[in-house]
């Protein structure tokens, strides 16, 4: 299997993608180097895949920690529990943290890897569609705070990523749909042809057609790898990957972490951002309608829960992308192209977009 490479000079790393790619875990570990491995997973994923991972690790397995399953557990308290388990295991600085699970597991395990002994090596084995196409690649690690999502974290690139598409066979339908939100994102911001392909192949993706899923994951990861390689620390073009997230994070925080899945909130956020872009005449209304229709076709929400304007204001101004007191939004300018706002937006346009149905 020829892996996709995230090109970051000396810190470049491979992304293995394919059916039964778990068998390439040994190859991934070889690229990472020697050292004992500590696995972070959760009670949902562990019974399905941890026994096989343990077998492949053999005597390199140093310990495991199972965090509770759910976004509401991506907290400093759980991070501390995980860190305690790593330290009690006696893992040394030449050790490796392996994340086996979805985006929550990957984010928390990555933050542990970023901070334990000032940073140790890290291996991602994502088992959900959302993690496979987004959070496992790029090096963002974090935990949530009651006042904002992913407000406590660090950039810490993995040393390898193993994406086994057969893990999606056991993924609940709601989680599958949530992952499709991030797939749609790539079509909107970067690749009009991919967006058209998604319009034509959404039924196949929802039916878990293996070839359709593999193609969607490969294209998504290729786009993200290219963007991360160009702008690792989100000083420029990488900010485009936040399309839908500024609004989506407010929804997640307001609803209570775990009540709306991350992908569901991002889906609604993308439609809101597209509505705003259309209202500002950044994109044609027909593009907004296509985006909303594709989100609907994926079985995802296209509007936010009933929220007061003051709730939106409080959440938006806590966003990590606020600069000089100005909320910066990623807005589509056409299918396959997006830009970042650099000027204030009239409150009435914002209110109309967040309240649209």
pLDDT digits (tens, 9 = 90+) for 95-148: 999 999 999 999 999 999 999 999 999 999 999 999 999 999 999 999 999 888
Residue 43: band (very low, low, confident or very high) from pLDDT cuts 50, 70, 90? very high
CA dihedral 180, 186, 192, 197 (to 10 degrees): -30
| Calpha distance 284→45 (Å, rounded) | 43
| Calpha distance 65→134 (Å, rounded) | 23
Mean pLDDT of 64-79: 97
Contact criterion met (CB below 8 Å) for 109 and 131: no
| Calpha distance 314→319 (Å, rounded) | 9
Contact criterion met (CB below 8 Å) for 168 and 140: no
Contact criterion met (CB below 8 Å) for 319 and 249: yes
CA-to-CA dists, residue 165 to 53, 149, 276, angstroms: 16, 28, 35
Per-residue pLDDT at 49 exceeds 90: yes
Contact criterion met (CB below 8 Å) for 282 and 308: no
With pLDDT > 70 as the criterion, what percentage of the chain qualifies?
99
The domain 173-354 belongs to what CATH superfamily?
Dehydroquinate synthase-like - alpha domain (1.20.1090.10)
The whole-number pLDDT of residue 4 equals 95
The whole-number pLDDT of residue 323 equals 75
| Calpha distance 147→132 (Å, rounded) | 27
pLDDT digits (tens, 9 = 90+) for 298-326: 999 999 999 999 999 988 988 766 777 78
| Calpha distance 158→62 (Å, rounded) | 19
Closest CA to 353 of 291, 296, 269: 269
Which residues does the annotation mark as catalytic?
118, 140, 182, 224, 234, 238, 242, 245, 249, 262
The whole-number pLDDT of residue 357 equals 65
Closest CA to 293 of 283, 302, 285, 284: 302
pLDDT digits (tens, 9 = 90+) for 21-36: 998 898 888 889 899 9
CATH architecture under which domain 4-170 falls: 3-Layer(aba) Sandwich (3.40)
DSSP string for 265-316: HHHHHHHHHHHHHHHTTSS-HHHHHHHHHHHHHTT---S--S--HHHHHHHH
pLDDT digits (tens, 9 = 90+) for 180-235: 999 999 999 999 999 999 999 999 999 999 999 999 999 999 999 999 999 999 98
Residue 284: band (very low, low, confident or very high) from pLDDT cuts 50, 70, 90? very high
The gap from C-alpha 337 to its chain's centroid, in whole angstroms, comes to 20
Q: Please report, for the chain, the start and end positions of each structural domain, with discontinuous segments joined by +.
A: 4-170, 173-354
The mean pLDDT of the chain is: 95
């Amino acid at each position: 299997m020829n892996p996709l490479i995230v090109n970051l000079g000396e810190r470049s790393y491979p992304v293995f993608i394919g059916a039964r790619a778990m068998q390439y875990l040994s190859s991934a570990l070889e690229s990472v180097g020697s050292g004992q491995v500590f696995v972070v997973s959760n009670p949902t994923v562990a019974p399905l895949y941890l026994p096989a991972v343990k077998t492949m690790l053999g005597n390199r397995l140093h310990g495991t920690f199972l965090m509770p399953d759910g976004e509401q557990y991506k907290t400093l308290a759980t991070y501390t529990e995980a860190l305690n388990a790593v330290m009690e295991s006696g893992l040394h600085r030449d050790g490796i943290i392996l994340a086996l699970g979805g985006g929550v597991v990957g984010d928390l395990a990555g933050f542990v890897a970023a901070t334990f002994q000032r940073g140790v090596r890290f291996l991602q084995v994502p088992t959900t569609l959302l993690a496979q196409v987004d959070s496992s690649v790029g090096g963002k690690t974090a935990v949530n705070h009651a006042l904002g999502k992913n407000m406590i974290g660090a950039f810490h690139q993995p040393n390898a990523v193993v994406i086994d598409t057969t893990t999606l066979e056991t993924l609940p339908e709601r989680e599958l749909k949530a992952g499709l939100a991030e797939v749609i994102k790539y079509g909107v911001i970067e690749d009009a042809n991919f967006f058209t392909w998604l319009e034509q192949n959404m039924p196949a993706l929802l039916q878990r057609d293996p070839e359709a899923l593999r193609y969607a994951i490969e294209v998504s990861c290729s786009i993200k790898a290219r963007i991360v390689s160009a702008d690792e620390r989100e000083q420029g073009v990488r900010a485009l990957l936040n399309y839908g997230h500024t609004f989506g994070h407010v929804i997640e925080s307001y609803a209570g972490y775990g009540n709306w899945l991350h992908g569901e909130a991002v889906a609604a956020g993308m439609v809101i951002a597209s509505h705003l872009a259309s209202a500002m005449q950044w994109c044609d209304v027909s593009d907004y309608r296509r985006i909303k229709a594709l989100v609907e076709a994926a079985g995802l929400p296209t509007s936010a829960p009933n929220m007061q304007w003051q709730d939106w204001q409080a959440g938006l101004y806590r966003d990590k992308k606020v600069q000089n007191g100005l909320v910066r939004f990623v807005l589509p300018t056409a299918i396959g192209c997006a830009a970042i706002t650099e000027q204030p937006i009239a409150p009435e346009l914002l209110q109309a977009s967040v309240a649209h149905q």
